[in-house]
Homo-oligomer: A and B are copies of this chain.
Amino acid sequence: MEVLEAIKKRRSIRQFTDQDVPKEFLLKILDAGRFAPSGLNNQPWRFLVIRKQDPRKPLLAQCTKYSHIVQRANVLIVVFLDKASSYHQLKDAQAIGACIQNMLLTICDLGLGAVWLGEILNQEEQVHQVLGTDANQLGLMAVIALGYPDQRGSSQRKPLDQLLVEELC
């Protein structure tokens, strides 16, 4: 898929079919995340992939009010900040956002769908307990729920003139 097509086509997908996402697709998605830009090239992103059969999946679903999405998703990519690599709170968060967008665009390109879950950050402590991860080392940044789409996404965008501080010359 062409870059601009993927950028414009991609929408949050919250309903998934039962079809399994192949491991080779997951490798492509994670690889795309890896190529994001970051301040000082510190690459602060870390990934933990939870697949359908993982016994932690139903427990992770209990960590968010969007349990139904987590339960239905075929795969969850838990995105962390590596605290040892972190150098600037705002810039690291932006880099993680760029990394997630690379993965979302690749997911779209592969004919899959995903939603970027942020509400689960409110239950970060519980997430660490469920996953067995160390809160001193890893900061929870997002969970990407993905699978084969069972809906068409839709969401509106503001027109460009509302986003420009000054008219473009």
Contacts and interface: CB of A to CB of B under 8 A. Distances in A.
Contacts of A157: 34-35, 43
A84 interface: no
A165 B48 contact: yes
Nearest to A93: B93
Nearest to A108: B3
A32 interface: yes
A169 to B, nearest CB: 6
A88 B7 contact: no
Interface residues of A, number: 69
Contact of A106 (B4, B30, B155): B4
A138 interface: yes
A105 B3 contact: yes
A133 B168 contact: no
Contact of A96 (B80, B97, B116, B164): B97
Given A10-B35, A94-B141, 7 more contacts: A3-B6, A4-B109, A8-B35, A10-B37, A30-B163, A34-B160, A43-B163
9 contacts: A7-B102, A7-B106, A8-B32, A27-B168, A47-B165, A48-B166, A94-B100, A98-B98, A98-B100
